[in-house]
Amino acid sequence: MRERAQSVATLQHFKKLDTLKADTETALELAREANDPEFLSEAGRLVDELAQGVGELEFKCKMNGEFDSQNAIIEINSGAGGTESQDWADMLLRMYMRWAEKKRYGIEVMDYQPGEGAGIKNATLLISGTYVYGNLRNESGVHRLVRISPFDSNARRHTSFASVSVTPDIEEEVDVTVNEADLRIDTYRSSGAGGQHVNKTDSAVRLTHIPSGIIVACQSERSQHKNKARALKILKSKLFEREQAQQQAKMDQIKGVRKKIDFGSQVRNYVMQPYQLVKDLRSSYETSDVNSVLDGDIDPLIESCLLMTE
């Protein structure tokens, strides 16, 4: 049903462009015959609309990866730097949640580890919707923030780092065998902002796959059994990715480049002082509207990375 809906949407897009093309040609013909500025203005509006529609279609054509149509699991980890980096990781968490809210995608916080004093140490989000992974796969990497620290009494400029990892939420059961003997299973109490919905039992589950070193945590369910099942599914997706990447040497396409969370390894810079600038270091796209980007308006950055690929 998902594939059918996607195919229907693509056909409808083509039909809309076909209609726009015909309307544009008619308006241009009328403008030429009548030498009427009103027809010419209408033709110009239709040309702009047609160009936008073709651009959207070009963008969708980049969604041709094996998992691009799937939901996405975003993991955010603070880098070295204590409170500064933990606060920056929390800002990134909010940015992706705001982006998903504006798209009306489903959002589920699967794991959340608060920082010491402010921010987060790490968090895991499941964002559900059409082509979510295709949109977010290039967000993987190290993100760097430069700002006047709100935690520095001397108001000095600080640089903070956080890493983002994006994994497809593979819906079908992947053919990966996980030996129970290779797993270390830890349980702990769910953490969060507090309130009546906080789980008071040790229902959160953290799985460590010893041979690969992959760690997966889930605390979104009230049942320890359900959290373990969900964590195991994510682990299988990660192992499936890893196996494919090793076989096909396409690690960057599926998981993104793993780099040290430090200087020289970032994929995007966010500068708030002494000037305002967000720049993607892969596509060279930049904008001075830092506040909008941090409020979830990241589509131009996403598109700039996707459209630069072959």
Q: How confident is the model at residue 175 (pLDDT cuts 50, 70, 90)?
A: low
Domain-ending residue, one of 23, 40, 61: 61
Q: What is the pTM of this model?
A: 0.72
Q: How confident is the model at residue 96 (pLDDT cuts 50, 70, 90)?
A: very high
Name which of 29, 31, 52, 26 is nearest 41 in CA terms: 31
At 20-42, the pLDDT tens digits run: 999 888 888 888 888 878 888 88
Q: How confident is the model at residue 174 (pLDDT cuts 50, 70, 90)?
A: low
Place of tokens 């598109």: 303
At residue 173, does pLDDT exceed 60?
no
17 burial (CB, 10 Å; 0-12 / 13-18 / 19+) is middle
- CA distances in angstroms from 185 to 208, 216, 226, 238, listed in the order given: 7, 10, 14, 17
> What value does the mean pLDDT take over residues 123-147?
93
Domain-ending residue, one of 12, 31, 61: 61
As a whole number, the mean pLDDT across the chain is 85
Tokens of 128: 């559900």
Do residue 243 and residue 307 come from a single domain? yes
Containing domain of residue 15, as a range? 2-61
Contact residues for 17 (Cβ-Cβ < 8 A; gap 6+)? 50, 53, 54, 57
pLDDT at 197: 42
Do residue 161 and residue 197 come from a single domain? yes
Do residue 122 and residue 48 come from a single domain? no
Provide the 10 A C-beta neighbour count for residue 289.
13
Query: Which residues, listed in sequence order, are joined to residue 77 by a DSSP beta bridge?
Result: 122, 163
Do residue 175 and residue 199 come from a single domain? yes
pLDDT at 192: 58
Name which of 12, 10, 124 is nearest 71 in CA terms: 124
Strand order in the sheet with 183-188: 183-188, 204-209, 214-218
Q: How confident is the model at residue 3 (pLDDT cuts 50, 70, 90)?
A: confident
Number of domains in the chain: 2
Domain-ending residue, one of 10, 44, 61: 61
Tokens of 14: 């083509």
Do residues 289 and 283 lie in contact, with contact meaning Cβ atoms separated by under 8 Å? no
Rounded distance, CA 244 to CA 251, Å? 8
Do residue 174 and residue 80 come from a single domain? yes
Rounded distance, CA 143 to CA 161, Å? 6
Do residue 193 and residue 228 come from a single domain? yes
